[in-house]
Structure 1
Amino acid sequence: MTPDVTANLRKNPWFSSLPTHLQDAIMAHSKLRQLNAQAVLHTKEQAPNGLFFVHSGKVRISNFTPEGKEVVLTWLTSGDWFGEISSFDNLPRTHCATVDEAATILTIPHSAFAQLCDKHPEMYRYFIPIFCQRMRALFEIIDEARTLPIKLQLVKRLLHLHNTFDGENGGLDVSQESLALMLNTTRQSVNRWLNELQTEGLIQLAYNKVMLEPQILQEYLHNQLNPKCH
């Protein structure tokens, strides 16, 4: 374990909430991996192979349609944990996890994680907040897909990505193709809605970059979702 990885773990909100003996146990059972872009951490239906922590880089969580089209659920960045569902229920993976940008990943192998939980059964309760967070995010995505037009779904995803990637100076590095994959629509549709948002003065577009002020988009979203309030 390198000092920078240890420091990143210590400042992680979830990890820092653990008692010291559980922090030490997790680090003792972890392995550090340096992975290039497009490296596959796991595929859908694969047997559980570990719990993961993103130290640096970006990981894409996705599935594929029967026609082979990739549908992106989300991207994970530094500080994110994932892989806990299969680690607990011992069932196959629900999604694919692929490195989007060269990444340093901390891995707790599945067998080591099982031994860790057997030795420290109090570990289970510390994962409840993670599961609750996942469920809330899932319900929100389902509600959006069923109730919101694509344009407003796009606005919400832009805000989510801005918060996830901590966009500097309001800038968000993301391609229209990536946004289309995330919303399960076409790049042409995303292009149309982005240009409409730009015409309305809500964002500015550059090559593979969206310049935005989150407060402006938040206000726009609020007004669209609450038309009687303005």
Structure 2
Amino acid sequence: MVRRTDPRSARDSLARIPLFAALLPDQIAALDAACSWRRVDAGAAIIDHQDDGIDVFFVVHGHVRVMIRQPGGQSVILRDIGDGEFFGELAAIDGQPRSAGIQAVTAATVARMPAAVFRGAIHAHPSVSDQVLALLAGQVRMLATRVTEFSTLNVRHRLYAELLRLSRPDPREPAHAIISPPPIQADLAARISSHREAVSRELAALTRAGLLDRRRGALVLLDPARLRQLVEEAYAGG
């Protein structure tokens, strides 16, 4: 469920969004006033793939997910978006239908900004323009990586690459990496365009090989350097 709230009574502000960090308080207040503010329940669809809307959404609190639904009904997860990030900028720039759908993973607070206001901020503030350009460049690089993985790697090595991408250094053991909270197998399958059974088999094989462990609240990559090497070898052999 998506619930509209009154922006004048909301304690949240776009001052929490790094994109606007260089703006003055009165400039941020003007942007706040131009937005509609919404509370979104976990699991709710915020925008649909191919929707005609062109507004931009800023995640003030919460966690949402970028997804594309394939013709057969299977969904592919492209990336996650958290506090301080935003989505919908492509449609705001080119006026075309949404390139992906967005679903709330947790309860979230989002600010919906009209496309014209967003474009005005880009034109008026070089710091905003530079960050949007950097974001778009990063998305192109990410999509190029994903296309290469899908066209070159099998399910096993796509899973290895995704586990590495989701992980961060383990504060308890520098040689390890952790994924916390641990993703469910269906979500991992959606990230690599596979199915849950294949992911389950590969995770079990990693555990038997001593490369993966399960800790309360986390998956632990016991030898991320070895996983990275296996992915590189798969590229070379492909």
Specify if TM > 0.5.
Answer: yes
What are the within-5 Å matches in structure 2 for residues 140-179 of structure 1? 140-163=145-168, 170=178, 171-179=180-188
C-alpha contact 1:57 1:78 (8 A) present in aligned 2: yes
Superposed CA offset, 1:13-56 (max 9, x none):
x432x443765553343333111022222112211342122222
What TM-score does the superposition give when structure 1 sets the normalisation length? 0.79
**What is the aligned partner in structure 1 of residue 200 from structure 2?**
191
What are the within-5 Å matches in structure 2 for residues 109-124 of structure 1? 109-114=114-119, 116=121, 120=124, 122=126, 123-124=128-129
Superposed CA offset, 1:151-191 (max 9, x none):
2221221232235xx99973333110111111111111000
| Unpaired stretches in structure 2, ≥5 consecutive residues | 1-6, 173-177, 234-238
Q: Which runs of 4+ in 1 moved over 6 A?
A: 166-169
Query: CA 1:96–1:145 in 2, change beyond 3 Å: closer, same or farther?
Result: same
Please give the root-mean-square deviation of Cα atoms over the aligned residues, in Å: 2.9
**What is the aligned partner in structure 2 of residue 68 from structure 1?**
73
| Displacement after TM superposition at 1:71 (Å) | 1.8
Superposed CA offset, 1:84-126 (max 9, x none):
10011011111111112211112212343345556x2755444
**What is the aligned partner in structure 2 of residue 223 from structure 1?**
229
Query: Secondary structure in 2 aligned to 1:185?
Result: coil
Query: Secondary structure in 2 aligned to 1:101?
Result: coil
1:51 aligns with 2:56: yes
C-alpha contact 2:53 2:98 (8 A) present in aligned 1: yes
Give, in whole Å, the separation in 1 of the partners of 2:135 and 2:68: 21
Query: Secondary structure in 2 aligned to 1:127?
Result: helix
What TM-score does the superposition give when structure 2 sets the normalisation length? 0.77
C-alpha contact 1:161 1:172 (8 A) present in aligned 2: no
Query: Secondary structure in 2 aligned to 1:104?
Result: strand
By percentage of residues, which structure has more helix? 1
**What is the aligned partner in structure 2 of residue 203 from structure 1?**
212
Aligned length: 217
**What is the aligned partner in structure 1 of residue 103 from structure 2?**
98
Give, in whole Å, the separation in 1 of the partners of 2:67 and 2:170: 22
Give, in whole Å, the separation in 2 of the partners of 1:59 and 1:128: 22
Match of 1:131 among 115, 133, 136: 136
**What is the aligned partner in structure 2 of residue 41 from structure 1?**
46
Give, in whole Å, the separation in 2 of the partners of 1:48 and 1:39: 17
User: How high is the sequence identity, in percent, across the aligned residues?
Assistant: 23
Superposed CA offset, 1:197-226 (max 9, x none):
11122222379x65214x732x01332245
C-alpha contact 2:13 2:60 (8 A) present in aligned 1: yes
Give, in whole Å, the separation in 2 of the partners of 1:139 and 1:22: 36
